[in-house]
Amino acid sequence: MQVGFIGLGLMGAPMARHLLHAGHHLHLWARRPATLVPFADTGAVIHQSPAEMAATVDVVFTMVADGPDVEQVLLGPRGIVEGAHPGLVVVDMSTIAPAIARDLNTRLAAHDIAFLDAPVSGGERGAREATLTIMVGGAADIFERIRPLFSLMGKSVSLIGPAGAGQVAKACNQILTGVGVMALAEALNFARTSGVDPANVRQALLGGFAYSRILENHGQRMLDRDFTPGFKAWMHQKDLRIVLEEAQRMGLMLPSTATTAQALNALVGSGHGEDDSIALIRLLERMGEAWV
């Protein structure tokens, strides 16, 4: 299959490689030429614009930072719609607002372009190991057509509902993971400040009802002081901003999410936006020291 990919960042690059290694003909475009360098000797076709790419592929995947970036790539000057042929499928795997995903679906349909919103969870490691969780919104027949490609990038692939439903599921994921990381940071910092070895506390909690993947994986990384980004703090900040904007639009109260979002604002504002979001424990430690 002729497959296009736009967005070769921390996660997009390994996702694109999985498609290439499976034997698909990979087509690429990037705003930053440096991200194309690792693909120079792979046989991937490099295009000068999204429009040029759209004319030659069966499906285009996008994995960019935010809603405006997706809109620019799809509908901006020299964007996908300018070169698209009828029946082209666009799959946006970015994390954007559900309302934007629904709007993109409507606008692309007017050009006879099918659209799926398919945000992912699993971070850089999941992208590298093709173990991502992929949450999809869109038409069932289009989903089934693209499912074999999804299976090359993730181990859990689910059709959640119509356009925008994938982004709603991702928002729920970010609520749970964001609040979970914050709770874990609070717990380990509480143990340390109480004079108890947080490693021993974590080990005990792993055997009880408090067990979670966050406690197991992120807890060990907090203890190891390993803040290498698997999911950067500024990205989690952006995702919770989307959640809270949607909540405001719907008149919903999300108090734990709001508190976590404020903590991420402070973490990013203090210069740790490029660290993994588990660096929230650093923020709590510094706040505690400020009161001593």
Residues marked as catalytic: 170
Contacts with 27 (C-beta within 8 Å, 6 or more apart), sequence order: 2, 3, 4, 5, 44, 45, 47, 53, 56, 57
**Residue from 213, 234, 212 nearest 280 by CA:** 234
Measured between alpha carbons, how far is residue 133 from residues 96, 150, 160 in Å? 16, 10, 12
Among the residues of 110-156, which ranges form H helices? 123-129, 140-153
What residues form DSSP beta bridges with 25?
2
CA 155 to chain centre: 15
C-alpha to C-alpha distance for 169 and 248, rounded to whole angstroms: 17
